[in-house]
Amino acid sequence: MEMIIQWIIIIGLAAFILSRFLPAKGVENISSQEAQKLMKNKNCQFIDVRTPAEYKSNHRKPFKNIPLSNIATRSKELNRDKEVVLVCQSGMRSAKAAKILRKQGFSKIYNVKGGMSAWI
């Protein structure tokens, strides 16, 4: 019986850890090259979730700056019917932003893996 409880705890812990690193349902990780191809799509909106200082020092058009700390309150500036492409410096903050937007009803979200660090 003790062995079963230990296995349940281990499986639960593993599931929790995996859920923290896997993208949310409806969120697709894409490369910077794939993001560049999407820039031709008029049905996409491009959001950079870095701080204003990071954005000012290095950004790509047509990305609009909405810092991660403001994404929940400023999501009303975005069209829920359009696809959303998110970027940050490494891909971690944009993944968090993607989960926030997903919970707010956005259905098609792309996260640029590697962020601006991987931009070519």
The residues near 87 (Cβ < 8 Å, ≥ 6 apart) are 35, 46, 47, 48, 49, 50, 60, 63, 94, 111, 112, 115, 116, 119
Asked whether 52 and 67 are in contact (CB, 8 A), the reply is yes
b/e map of 26-37 (b: 16 or more CB within 10 Å)? ebebbebeebee
Tell me if residue 44 is catalytic: no
Query: Pick the catalytic residue: 27, 49, 71, 88?
Result: 88
Q: Which residues are catalytic?
A: 88
